[in-house]
Amino acid sequence: MTILLSNDDVARLLTMPDCIAALEEAYVELAEGRGVNRIRSDCLVPVKDRPEALYGLKSMDGVIPKFGIGAVRIDSDVVTWPKRGNTMVREKVPAAGGRWVGLVLLFSCDNGEPLAIMPDGVMQHIRVGATSGLGAKYMARKDARTVGILGSGWQAETQLQAICSVRAITSIRCFSPTQANRETFAKRMTETLGIEVKPVDSPEAAVKGVDVVMCASNAIDNIYFERWLEPGIHLSSIKRPEIEIAALKKCDRVLTHSHEATPMHFTTKDLKVVEKTEGKGWKVAEEFDFAKMPTLPEMLAGRYQGRANDREITCFMNNLGMGYQFAAAGSVVYRKAKELGVGREFPTDWFTQDVHP
Amino acid sequence: MTILLSNDDVARLLTMPDCIAALEEAYVELAEGRGVNRIRSDCLVPVKDRPEALYGLKSMDGVIPKFGIGAVRIDSDVVTWPKRGNTMVREKVPAAGGRWVGLVLLFSCDNGEPLAIMPDGVMQHIRVGATSGLGAKYMARKDARTVGILGSGWQAETQLQAICSVRAITSIRCFSPTQANRETFAKRMTETLGIEVKPVDSPEAAVKGVDVVMCASNAIDNIYFERWLEPGIHLSSIKRPEIEIAALKKCDRVLTHSHEATPMHFTTKDLKVVEKTEGKGWKVAEEFDFAKMPTLPEMLAGRYQGRANDREITCFMNNLGMGYQFAAAGSVVYRKAKELGVGREFPTDWFTQDVHP
């Protein structure tokens, strides 16, 4: 049987600590050359009657022999780049009848069999958080207790879950530009985490004096600046442009998730739109030598030290997703779904064939 | 509704002439920069308890705004490289309970919606044939009547269907190493095509004096040689190593399908196996300047002449598949399936989400 799962199923089956543990094991496999990742690619084309938007067909793959799992993640998105306040953001439009389209397909790498299909939304959130959590596990001070977070969206939620899974956090401050958003977020997260999350009215108020600063925005402009740095902090980011280059240069250690660049495939006409928008992130690369940064898998395989002392400033840039992460998180979800009998079952024959492909 | 189709459905809905027509239109879009392709990638890892095999997770994407369609094709294969007679071949093992695993997923590039899921087997065969057919349509002599084909597998079948769709073929000769195979194939194809297909007992007997030579093997060694060339023929191949380099060098015009190289992702250990096998195809690249060959989309967009006179020797190398082809063929299948009410219907909500991915 091939199983179809929902986001609710994934939310029930994939805990943050389990996802962090699976990723940690999987990244060591990757660093040791026993797992493989095919980096994300984007096909971008114009959208009929929507000159401000692009359609993107995005895919990424990964295989982890140790877990017996291969995964393909696909997103089929209509994307826009509106201004929110002073900041340009990247927004996926729920264009498919008010809904988004993202899928994870899992296959057995022992016999090729299609194992499961599920939406990518919940898993996507958890794996981004879990990856930042792994960075913090090895880079934040062991005695880190306080967090300042910039952002109050879905990324911010799993960033907080992740840091609370790897450190005994006792207090959190949150800033995001819209007062109502940060207040709702703080209230909800206080309940979820059982730790006080306090909304504050400036980014400085969120980050001043904390042990861990987490950037979790959809901004493609800088939101954290050099002048805010303090000794001993751990910085984390989910998008390259979030942290000012001057701040990055002052860090004692900067680690990245992955070095592989995203192959972008455009129709001729779109190039200008993308240069004007996503291009911002690319220019940063010229001012800072990102190519020299060690990666998270390298650190987990013991080739790089995360933090040497309590005064170092460390930074983890969770820059680019990997299909490999969906194989790791997917293996947890699939194993638990089978154990608990969760999911809609289809005959596997519907997704296999007697015709040689 | 998102529809699930079978190979039988695809076989019924996708005729060779329709597929050739859709590809022709789609390739012009590609050459003009109005469509995009993300080239095939392979993730290769060892298979548990099968040292002679590799598991491959292969994917390729493409989007054709003119047709409103994006496609992702995924194969999840156990691959081996056995010797058949004197020739090393590449074989996909039906390891998933005696079946193969390959899927095509279609999405709307107007709103992102998942439109259809289907196995890739039949479509794969038809699109390879259709692509060679398009090459022959513009490169073979207009008065070509006779075909020699090397190979009697599934590739050979659609190669013949394709050439018979673009030229008024009256006689075909077939050679493949195993007598029973070529005889069964010839009998079946004679019935299917309504044109005599004659099995012959040497490759020379198949290719001597014909107007069109089609290589359609799973060989990764040379099977067509310089000494067999005759003025005015059109040669076609579905794998680089099939045609001897010396023969390629004597052709007046050689066209290729695509220049993009397949990104191969290996675990460290597999590299040797692949070098020993697939590597054969790669070495060829050093002896012939494949990078200078014009491509099929360029020819269809009018930038390159297929044949100048009846004495030229022309060659089309259908070297590498494109996800883009599955978007073109898929758009035909999807449109017809909707018109005729074919396929198993699922609520689209099963494959979309209210969670931002």
Mean pLDDT of B245-270: 81
Q: Is the dihedral of CA A124, A130, A133, A138 positive or negative?
A: negative
Complex ipTM, two decimals? 0.91
What is the interface size between A and B, counted as CB pairs within 8 Å? 267
- Greater model confidence, A197 or A287: A197
Question: Which residue in A41, A76, A111 is closest to B114 by CB distance?
Answer: A76
Domains A2-124+322-351 and A129-317 share a fold: no
CATH architecture of B128-317: 3-Layer(aba) Sandwich (3.40)
Q: How confident is the model at residue A198 (pLDDT cuts 50, 70, 90)?
A: very high
Residue B63 CA to residue B303 CA, distance in Å, equals 22
* Contact between B176 and B201 (Cβ < 8 Å): no
- Out of A139-143, A239-243, A302-306, least confident range: A239-243
Under DSSP, the state recorded for B261 is P
Q: Report CB contact under 8 Å: A267, B356.
A: no
Name chain A contacts of B121, Cβ cutoff 8 Å: 353, 355-357
For strands A69-80 and A50-64, give the pairing.
antiparallel
**A120 part of contact set with chain B, CB < 8 Å:** yes
B70 and A62 within 8 Å at the Cβ level: the answer is: no
Do residues B169 and B144 lie in contact, with contact meaning Cβ atoms separated by under 8 Å? yes
Instruction: Report d(CA A149, CA A154) in Å as an integer.
Output: 12
Model pTM score:
0.92
- The CA distances from residue B89 to B54, B120, B308, in Å, are 14, 21, 36
Cβ count within 10 A of residue B269: 12
Instruction: Tell me the mean pLDDT in the region B41-54.
Output: 89
Q: pLDDT-derived band of residue B86, with 50, 70 and 90 as boundaries?
A: confident
**CA dist., res. A316 & res. B229, Å (int):** 61
Say which range, B49-53, B93-97, B342-346, has the weakest mean pLDDT: B49-53
Question: Which region among A293-302, A308-317, B103-112, B286-295 has the lowest average model confidence (pLDDT)?
Answer: B286-295
Interface of B with A in 230-289 (CB under 8 A): 263, 265-269
Q: How large is the average pLDDT for residues A57-82?
A: 95
pLDDT of B277 over the 60 cut: no
For residue A83, what are the β-bridge partners?
A: A88
The mean per-residue pLDDT over the stretch A17-46 comes to 94
HSE, CB side, 13 Å, CA atoms: give it for residue A262: 22
Distance from CA of B101 to the nearest CA of A (A): 5
Distance from the Cα of B94 to chain A's closest Cα (Å) equals 8
**Pick from A317, A301, A300, A329: which is nearest to A234 by CA?**
A317
Among candidates A38, A57, A179, which has minimal Cα distance to B109? A57
Q: Which stretch of A4-8, B179-183, B185-189, B215-219 has the lowest confidence by average pLDDT?
A: B215-219
- Torsion angle (degrees, nearest 10) of CA B43, B47, B50, B51: 60
B194 min Cα distance to partner chain A (Å): 24
Mean pLDDT of chain A: 92
pLDDT of res. B280: 44
B308 touches chain A (CB under 8 A): no
Interface test with A, best of B120, B157, B267, B353 (most A CBs within 10 A): B353
Residues A155-179 have a mean pLDDT of: 97
Distance, in Å, from the CA atom of B59 to the CA atom of A354, rounded to the nearest integer, reads: 20
Flag whether residue B352 sits within 8 Å of chain A, measured between CB atoms.
yes
Any A CB within 8 A of B12 CB = no
pLDDT band of residue B287 (cuts 50, 70, 90) is: low
Give dist(CA A70, CA A62) in Å, integer.
Answer: 6
| Per-residue pLDDT tens over the stretch B313-322 | 999 998 888 9
**Cα–Cα distance list, B238 to A206, A318, B41, B262 (Å):** 61, 42, 18, 15
| Topology at the third CATH level for domain A129-317 | Rossmann fold (3.40.50)
Q: Which residues of B touch A57 (CB under 8 A)?
A: 38, 61, 63, 70, 72, 107, 109
| Interatomic CA distance for residues A75 and B115, integer angstroms | 13
Average pLDDT of the segment spanning A165-178: 97
Asked if the Cβ–Cβ distance from B107 to A57 is below 8 Å, we say: yes
Q: Between chains, do A357 and B117 touch, taking CB under 8 Å as contact?
A: no
CB contact under 8 A, A70 and B57: yes
Nearest partner of B106 among B68, B141, B156, B59, judged by Cα: B68
Phi/psi at B130 (nearest 5 deg)? -60, -40
Is A35 close to B267, i.e. CB distance below 8 A? yes
Q: Where are the domains of chain B?
A: 2-124+322-351, 128-317
Check pLDDT > 50 for residue B284.
Answer: no
Across the interface, whether the CB atoms of A357 and B121 are under 8 A apart is answered yes
Strand partners, B229: none
Task: Please state, in angstroms and rounded to a whole number, the distance separating the CA atoms of residues B309 and B193.
Answer: 29
3-state secondary structure of A138: helix
- Average pLDDT (A273-301) is 69
The stretch A45-50 carries a mean pLDDT of 90
What is the rounded average pLDDT of the residues A310-320? 93
Determine the Cα–Cα distance for residues B292 and A26; give it in Å rounded to an integer.
Answer: 41
B7, B33, B75 ranked by CB distance to A267: nearest:
B33
CA nearest to A157, candidates A217, A203, A81: A217
CA distance A29 to chain B (A): 9
Q: Which CATH number fits domain B2-124+322-351: 3.30.1780.10, 3.20.20.70, 3.40.50.720, 3.30.70.270?
A: 3.30.1780.10
Interface contact A357-B65, CB threshold 8 A: no
CA distances from B98 to A142, A148, A349, A354 (A): 52, 55, 10, 8
Binning pLDDT at 50, 70 and 90, where does residue A273 land? low
| Interchain CB contact of A26 with B (< 8 Å) | no
Give backbone dihedrals phi and psi of A53, rounded to 5 degrees, phi first: -115, 160
What average pLDDT does this structure show over A265-286? 55
Q: Where are the alpha helices (DSSP H) in B114-270?
A: 121-139, 154-166, 179-193, 203-207, 245-250
CA distance B144 to chain A (A): 30
Average pLDDT over residues A224-237: 97
Least confident of B39-53, B118-132, B179-193: B39-53
